[in-house]
Amino acid sequence: MNKPTSIPGQFDAVVVGAGFSGLYMLYRLRQLGLSVKGFDSAGDVGGTWYWNRYPGARCDIATPDYTYSFDPELEKEWTWSEKYATQPEILDYLRFVADRYGLRPDIEFSTTVTSARWDEQEKRWTITTGRGEEIRCRYYIMATGCLSMPKSPDIEGVGRFGGQVYFTSRWPHEGVDFTGQRVAVIGTGSSGIQVIPLIARQASQLTVFQRTPNFSIPAHNGPAPADRLKQLDEDRDGYRHAARWSRIGVPNEPTDVLGVTASEAVRRERFEAAWRQGELVGIVSVFADQLLNPASNDIVAEMIREKVRSIVKDSETAEALCPKDHYFGTKRPCLDTGYFDTYNLPHVRLVDLRKQPIVSITEDGIETADESFGFDAIVYATGFDAMTGALVAADVTGRDGLSLKEKWAAGPSTYLGLMTAGFPNFFMLTGPGSPSVLSNMAVSIEQHVDWVAGCLKDMREEGFETIEPTELAESGWNQHVQDCAAITLMPTANSWYMGANVPGKPRVFLPYIGGVDGYRQACDDVVGQGYLGFRLTGPDGARCRDGVIRSMQPDVAMVLELIATLGLPPMETLSAADARALMAATAETRPPGPEVGEVTDGVIPVPAGELPYRLYRPAAPPEGPRPLVVYFHGGGWVLGNLDSDDPLCRDLCARSGSVVVSVNYRHAPEARFPAAALDAFAAVQWVDANAIELGGIPGQLAVAGWSAGANIAAVACQLARDAGGPHISGQVLICPVVDSDMTRLSYDENGDGYILTTPLMRWFWDHYADPADRGDPRAAPLRGDLRGLPATCIVAADFDPLRDEGVAYARALEGAGVPVRLARARGHTHTSVTMVGVVISGAPVRAEIGQALSDFFPAPNHKSS
């Protein structure tokens, strides 16, 4: 493809869609010198802004940001008249762009692409249109938008109504005059909330049928924000750069104020400022934790509900308009102009479908469970088959006859939201798995188009004809998309982000919530690593660097980034005393962990003196004795104490329903090997002997530990077996040290950059044990006799240098006939699983630990997590 293809009916690229993304894609492909053909089923450019012509339709990102930025000259030539432009003005803008770059001649309007089929032999796509044309192309690009396929109304009797029917997503070009009419609007998403106040101005009666109330804040429309315009004027490039590397594609200083810890005054001040500002970027970032922590989210949600109650005079209507069934931001929040005020008008009525659901649309109106309504017109503002609807509608068939619809039957699967395996040279712009609808579309679209254009250019320069993601890269990305969503409240809502608005659609979180900045970095990294996860082929052969671009849990990555900014000295360069002080200081800033029933401190008399312990008793019923878990803290035999692992002990206690006895033991270098191991065994003996006094059930005893604490827990089990008691029902070893061999692959892979480093582990060993002792099973339990040990749960974290020895211990125990549960802490480091209340993604691993502890014991009244 050195020069544009000029065979009739044959193009280098076909682009479907002539909205924001399709137009820019055409422009970039042309710049590359490719022959391009565009299609759109609409009669003109505009995409979503061509179709959504209902009164009140506006963008909800302020116009200085909702605009192309690829050409500074274009920016100079266009001035927006308002903060949030109306649909006609945005459509004018897109027409202006199409004309300015002469894009129209390449686009065939009023033409629907009905199918696209990959020809493996020819390495080309065959595109068929509704007009019966057949076109061949090398690259097939769908720029079909995320909210372009209207949802078919899933209401009984839809075709029956004899009056006028309108869809906000397919509004008549000539407009509609509702003067004097009785009008129904079904749906209170962004479209409904925008159109309702304007229909109310004309209609003689307006009845709004609401299934779910939505959070909405006033847009405070007016001139474009002066501060933004000033910044753009002074430093356009800097402003655009900041947008590209921001979280949602609008420059914004991230806050570190947490809703749960902020004072009432700070909460109020931040919320009111966002309310006054009237921008999504402000209201979604009142608090840093509002999309993560239900308690923080409730603060913002309640303040919005207060506003609704203060606007709407009828208290019953006000209450019905207050969203209570989803967290703020988990459904797309709306910006409105006089929406709630509209319900104070005497001719406007809200029907709460939660109280009286629609039974059927009738010939002359709507029948609910309680009432029959007569209407002249019904307006459906019922939304879209979002993000995937338009993509699967076009019958795209990849290699081996597999259609996109079939491949995505259980939910979409993409690499970076850009491509999908089995569909070579098929690109999606703002596809599922990319930030798209969670971001300023203008910024995300430009990023996607630039990436695709860069990719095609690189392919040409390197002599490749096809590109396609690998299964591994794609499943890794899908996992990452879900991991990012899982730490937020997003999956809890019945939203179109989750596919929940379309009956039968699989429930998967569709967009990428890791941020515009994080996403851009991932895309750049893929290219930087030689198109990691893509297979490229050409006449001279193939190239594939397979791999997963993001496999660390997103919150673990955030914690590591945060720690890196602190510039702490490497622990192994400190004295033991300084290292202990540093660890204690960091512990002070953590969340405290969950509430438990009772916490008491005491001491255990052992041959070497006394060992302090802290006992945690569960809060939940039943009353009475519980199984006992003796827990040993981490810290490389040098660091740590009862406080260091306090949140984790609370968590284990709450999850397992056991009494947890956390025992401090003698530390190195003051007391070297085998002091810690012997203390551990002595403590287990004492707890067993004093089970009743400690509130335990005699004979129901487990041990647990993290890191070096897991080392001595494992040793204690071996010593107990050798001594013929006490009886231990099970051991939980979280990221244990079980060997002194530091040459395993996980040391190679993870020995640098994940807090527990190879030098630090060496420092720990040097403090604890002489080289001659390090093969002793009481230092390296992997080298001991493993027969007859209790049931074991081992946690092995992906990014832990100790991962492979943990796995080796699990395998060796299995080989010795011990029941083993290996919990893989996917995407975690040595420390992250223990970061209770900080690393949310660690919770499922700790839930598994809690379950393992419960499973050690037969007690029927035992609570599991």
Smallest distance from ligand NA7 to CB 437, Å? 6
- Are 799 and 789 within 8 A, CB to CB? no
Which DSSP string do the residues of 492-511 spell out, in sequence order? Answer: GS--GGGTTTSTT------S
- Helices of type H across 101-202: 190-202
Q: How far apart are CB 364 and ligand NA7 at their closest, in Å?
A: 19
Q: Please, which residue, 38 or 515, has the CB nearer to ligand NA7?
A: 515
Cα–Cα distance measured from residue 147 to residue 329, given in angstroms and rounded to the nearest whole number: 18
Q: Compare residues 215 and 384 and give the one whose CB is closer to ligand NA7.
A: 384
- Residue 216 CB, shortest distance to ligand NA7, in Å, is 11
Q: Which of 88, 51, 89 is nearest to 169 (CA)?
A: 51
Which among 291, 297, 651 has a CA at the least distance from the CA of 486?
291
Nearest distance from C-beta of residue 65 to ligand NA7, angstroms: 15
Interacting residues with ligand NA7 (CB under 6 A): 147, 154-155, 168, 186-192, 211-212, 332, 353, 381-384, 496, 501
Instruction: Please report how close the Cβ of residue 230 comes to ligand NA7 at its closest, in angstroms.
Output: 28
Where do runs of H (alpha helix) occur along 639-754? Answer: 646-656, 675-689, 708-723, 745-750
Length of the chain: 865
Closest CA to 495 of 53, 147, 17: 147
Mapped to the 3 state alphabet, what secondary structure does 191-256 carry? HHHHHHHHHHHHCCEEEEEECCCCCEEECCCCCCCHHHHHHHHHCHHHHHHHHHCCCCCCCCCCCC
| Identity of the residue, 184 or 786, whose beta carbon is nearer to ligand NA7 in the bound complex | 184
Beta strands in 278-393 (DSSP E): 334-336, 348-352, 358-361, 365-368, 372-374, 377-380
Residue 128 pairs in a beta bridge with 115, 134
Provide the token pair at 675: 């002091």
Of 392 and 839, the one with the shorter C-beta distance to ligand NA7 is: 392
Q: How far is the CB of 566 from ligand NA7 (least distance, A)?
A: 38
Report the nearest approach of ligand NA7 to the CB of residue 435 (Å).
13
CA distance linking residue 83 with residue 417, whole number of Å = 30
Taking residue 708's Cβ as centre, other Cβ atoms within 10 Å add up to: 28
d(CA 524, CA 528): 6
Nearest to ligand NA7 of 149, 853 (CB atom): 149
DSSP state of 840: G
Task: Compute the distance between CA of residue 831 and CA of residue 820 in angstroms, rounded to an integer.
Answer: 22
CA distance 630 to 688: 9
Contact 851, 658 (CB under 8 A): no
* Measured distance CA(105)–CA(35) in Å, rounded: 12
**Comparison of 139 and 496: residue with beta carbon closer to ligand NA7:** 496
Query: Pairing relation of β-strands 466-469 and 534-538?
Result: antiparallel
C-alpha–C-alpha distance, residues 225 and 63, integer Å: 9
Query: Of the two residues 353 and 847, which places its CB atom closer to ligand NA7 in the complex?
Result: 353
> How near is the Cβ of 357 to ligand NA7 at its closest, in Å?
8
Q: CB 349 → ligand NA7: shortest distance, Å? A: 16
Which CB, 301 or 648, lies closer to ligand NA7?
Answer: 301
Closest-approach residue to ligand NA7 (CB) = 189
Say if residues 289 and 296 touch (Cβ distance below 8 Å).
Answer: yes
How many CB atoms within 10 Å of residue 268?
13
Output the smallest distance, CB 188 to ligand NA7, in A: 4
Contacts of 813 (CB under 8 A, 6+ apart): 786, 789, 792, 820
Shortest distance (Å) from residue 392 CB to ligand NA7: 18
Query: For residues 496 and 799, which CB has a smaller minimum distance to ligand NA7 in the complex?
Result: 496
Cβ 14 vs Cβ 125: under 8 Å: yes
The minimum distance between CB 59 and ligand NA7, in angstroms, equals 9
Max CA separation in the chain (angstroms): 95
Query: Alpha carbon 265 to chain centroid distance?
Result: 30
551 near 475, Cβ under 8 Å?
A: no
How distant is the alpha carbon of residue 556 from its chain centre?
13
**Residue 681 phi, psi dihedral angles, 5° rounding:** -65, -40
Output the smallest distance, CB 192 to ligand NA7, in A.
Answer: 5
H or E stretch at 269: helix 264-277
The least distance separating ligand NA7 from the CB of residue 567, rounded to whole angstroms, comes to 41
What is the spatial distance between Cα 9 and Cα 641, in angstroms, rounded to a whole number?
75
| Tokens linked to 229 | 């315009």
**DSSP assigned state of 672:** -
Task: Write down the least CB distance from residue 295 to ligand NA7, Å.
Answer: 24
Beta bridge pairs of residue 747: none
Measured from the Cβ of residue 765, the count of other Cβ atoms closer than 10 Å reads: 22
Cβ nearer to ligand NA7, comparing 103 with 386:
386
Structure token digits, residue 743: 């040459």
Whichever of 59 and 728 has its CB closer to ligand NA7, that residue is 59
CB of 305 to ligand NA7, least distance (A): 17
Which helix H or strand E contains 704, and what residues bound it? strand 696-706
Q: Which is nearer to ligand NA7, 290 or 501 (CB)?
A: 501
| Cβ-based neighbour number of residue 174 at 10 Å | 7
Smallest distance, ligand NA7 to C-beta of residue 480, A:
24
What CA–CA distance (Å, rounded) separates 771 from 253? 52
Q: 295, 247, 304: which is closest to 271 by C-alpha?
A: 304
